[in-house]
Amino acid sequence: MINDKSDDSMTNEFLSLFKNGLTYGYVVIVQFLTEEVIGIEEDDVLTQGKPVTKIERVPYHRYFEVKEENYFKSEYLEKDRKERYSDVFFSPFIYSVYKREQKSSLHLTALYVDIDNCMTEQVLPRLNKLPGGLQHPTAIIRSGGGVHIYWILQYKHKVSKCLNLWKKTMRKLKDDLGGDPKVIDHARLMRLPGSWNPKSNSKCEFITFNSENRFDLFDVASALGTYKERKPSEFHITRKDTKKISRQKLQYKPGNYAQYLKTDLVDLMKYRAKTGADIGHRNHMLFILKQLMSSDETLDYLNQKVFSEPLPDIEVAYIKNYKAPLSFPKRKNVVEKLEVTPTEQSMFRYLTDEDVYETRKSIKFIKNRKLRSVVNFLLKLLQRKYAKSNVTLKTIAHDLSISTKTASKYRNSRNTKNDYLQVSKSIGLVQQESEEAKKYLPSLEREKHKRPVIEELQNLQKLIDRFQTLVQQSKPFQKNQLNTKEYKELLRLIRELKILKDECL
């Protein structure tokens, strides 16, 4: 990083591996700097009677913003007196905020070892002691005072789920390679490749780097003996009648999402079977349905009644009798295995690309829960206000489509300023979440078949804008006393809010 673009590009490629596959969270880069502070020597003032100034170098740290398209640029840093980028560090974790704290760490992205006082030629003999797959790590870096070795993980596990396994594996790697025993926490700073190490007056640089070498945490832990896969076993429970009942632990329980996905899969096969396009995907289809805990009758129905050409009985029997533990199929893998085309994706809700599904999921959440909730809250405030009008409870109940008991309850209740402030605060949060739902907009705009999702985003924004307009129109009715004409206008506003509430479903 001495104004060398090749260094920056390699550092960027290295940093991008830690967030590969994640669309949220932060990579933390920090540079430790010193600033000159002018002070006064108090002893000299007492002895000589005049102030004598002194200059102290006070250390402080500076964080840098990291963007996905350009993780790092050396010109963002500050140079030292020798025109070098010194004391630059990064943290090999993903954080929820742009601050290096253990409580804010979200994902475990790599396994690494810091070997102090180690020469380059001493690294390979130590690596040869590890199991075969670990002898070729993602990167080996000369830090200036030793060597850093990284095994970057392909899948980024959550800290909340795999931290104990990660720490056990880190300790085992540290013991086998003679690494620093302190470097096993999940908010660690490591020296950034390409920066200058002033302690040893040398550059931190790559010895080897292969971005294709990525690892699975459970495979590494299994190879090192820190993890043993538990096979589903039978256990017994004792009941009052002293009968022993054996049952097997289920891997998961299917929910509504599983049922919806199965429906989309069956409809997809029916659509393809008309033209014979299901040939080549029939085995994948049956196996995915087996993962979704479909019954044997469902598999037979699909094979005999839906497929354009049935599979041989021996192949279907193999899938039905498959005994190994099955995990829930990921939607992304299902779309890839079945090669769901853009035209087909436009026909289904769940058999779609990740960006389409997540965007539609956000839209549904905002409309059905967030926006509808705040619309309903304002609606009740205005209904309570209308209940103060000088008409009978029966007329109020008729106008608001509520019972006379509820109308009486509304008449005896009061609205406060805080209630209306809560509406403004809630609509602000809804608008904020609407902007967050647009994070996939660049990828949606690149492909034509995803344009309907963009229209759904636009329709959501129109609903929010309409509600904000109604909120503005409701402000004149927040005063204590209203005349007859104002009550009629208030009733019109209430009916518009009801229409908007129904459109949020």
**Which has more pLDDT, 39 or 497?**
497
Cα end-to-end span (Å), the chain? 54
Q: How far apart are CA 452 and CA 167, in angstroms?
A: 46
Residues 57 and 21 grouped into a single domain = yes
Inside any domain, residue 243 = no
In a domain, 249, yes or no: no
Give whole-number Cα distances, 234 to 77, 243, 246, 253, 292, in Å: 59, 15, 6, 18, 22
18, 67: one domain = yes
In the prediction, which pLDDT does 236 show? 39
Same-domain status, 384 and 408: yes
CA separation for the pair 378, 375 (Å, rounded): 5
State the residue range of the domain holding 137: 5-224
Residue 332, token pair as written in the block: 């992304």
Model pLDDT for residues 196-205, shown as the tens digit of each residue: 888 888 889 9
Residue with more model confidence, 449 or 444: 444
123-132 in b/e form (b: 16+ CB < 10 A) is beebbeebee
Q: Given this model, what pLDDT does residue 353 score?
A: 80
> Is residue 450 located within the same domain as residue 314?
no
Kindly report the three-state secondary structure assignment for every residue of 51-77: CCEEEEEEEEEEEECCCCCCCCCHHHC
**What confidence tier does 350 reach under pLDDT thresholds 50, 70, 90?**
confident
Same domain, 32 and 165: yes
C-alpha dihedral sign at 136, 142, 145, 150: negative
* Separation CA 353–CA 197 (nearest Å): 45
- Mean per-residue pLDDT for 103-116? 89
CATH number for the domain including 127?
A: 3.30.70.1790
Higher pLDDT residue, 354 or 49? 354
The last residue of a domain, from among 345, 364, 389: 345
Specify the pLDDT at position 66. Answer: 59
pLDDT at 246: 38
Look at residue 136 and tell me if it is in a domain.
Answer: yes
Q: What is the pLDDT of residue 235?
A: 38
Q: What percent of the chain has pLDDT over 90?
A: 15
- DSSP assigned state of 238: E
- Quickly state the pLDDT bin for 86 (edges 50, 70, 90): confident
Using the 3D structure, point to which of 288, 319, 345 is the last residue of a domain.
345
Residue-wise pLDDT for 286-318, tens only, equals 988 888 888 888 888 888 888 988 888 888 888
Within-domain flag for 366: yes
Number of helices and strands in the chain (H, E): 19, 12
Model pLDDT, residue 206:
92
Q: Are residues 92 and 217 in the same domain?
A: yes
Do 459 and 368 lie in a common domain? yes
| 403 and 372 within one domain | yes
What is residue 215's DSSP assignment? Answer: B
Is 240 part of a structural domain of the chain? Answer: no
CB 325 within 8 A of CB 291: no
Task: Give the Cα separation of 374 and 463 in Å (integer).
Answer: 12
Q: How confident is the model at residue 279 (pLDDT cuts 50, 70, 90)?
A: confident
Indicate if 408 and 490 belong to the same structural domain. yes
461 vs 153: CA distance, rounded Å? 39
d(CA 455, CA 461): 10
Domain for residue 293, yes or no? yes
List Cβ neighbours of 207 (8 Å cut-off, separation of 6 or more): 120, 123, 140, 141, 142, 147
Cα gap 257→266, rounded to integer Å: 14
Regarding whether 212 and 83 lie in a shared domain, the answer is: yes
- Total number of domains in the chain: 3
For residues 427 and 464, the answer to whether their CB atoms sit within 8 Å is yes
Whether 53 shows a pLDDT value over 60: the answer reads no
pLDDT score of 69 more than 70: no
Report residue 71's pLDDT band, with 50, 70 and 90 as the boundaries.
Answer: low
pLDDT digits (tens, 9 = 90+) for 374-412: 999 999 999 998 998 888 989 988 998 889 999 899 988
Identify which of 77, 83, 82, 80 has the alpha carbon closest to the alpha carbon of residue 63: 77
The residues, ordered by sequence, that sit 6+ positions from 124 with a Cβ below 8 Å of its Cβ are: none
Same domain, 16 and 160: yes
Q: What is the pLDDT of residue 479?
A: 85
Is it the case that residue 231 has pLDDT exceeding 70? no
The pair of three-digit structure tokens given for residue 31, joined into one six-digit string: 């540079």
| Listed residue (362, 371, 505) closest to 426, CA to CA | 371
Buried b (16+ CB within 10 A) or exposed e, 366-381: bbeebbbebbeebbbb
At 251, the pLDDT band (50, 70, 90 cuts) reads very low
Q: Are 298 and 397 within one domain?
A: no
Percent of residues in the chain assigned helix, strand, coil, to nearest 5: 50, 15, 35
Of the listed ranges 35-39, 330-334, 340-344, the one predicted with least confidence: 35-39
CA-nearest of 421, 425, 435 to 478 is: 421
The percent of residues above 70 in pLDDT, for the chain, comes to 84
Q: Which of 345, 369, 403 is the last residue in one of the domains?
A: 345
Q: What are 146-201's pLDDT values in tens digits?
A: 899 999 998 888 888 889 999 999 999 999 998 888 888 878 889 988 888 888 88
Query: For position 144, what pLDDT does the model report?
Result: 84
For helices 282-291 and 313-320, the axis angle rounded to 10 degrees is 20
User: pLDDT-based confidence at 138, cuts 50/70/90?
Assistant: very high
CA atoms within 13 A on the CB side of 273: 17
DSSP state of 101: -
What pLDDT is attached to residue 442?
84
In a domain, 178, yes or no: yes
Q: What is the pLDDT of residue 428?
A: 87
* Residue 108 placed within a domain: yes
Q: What is the mean pLDDT of residues 98-102?
A: 78
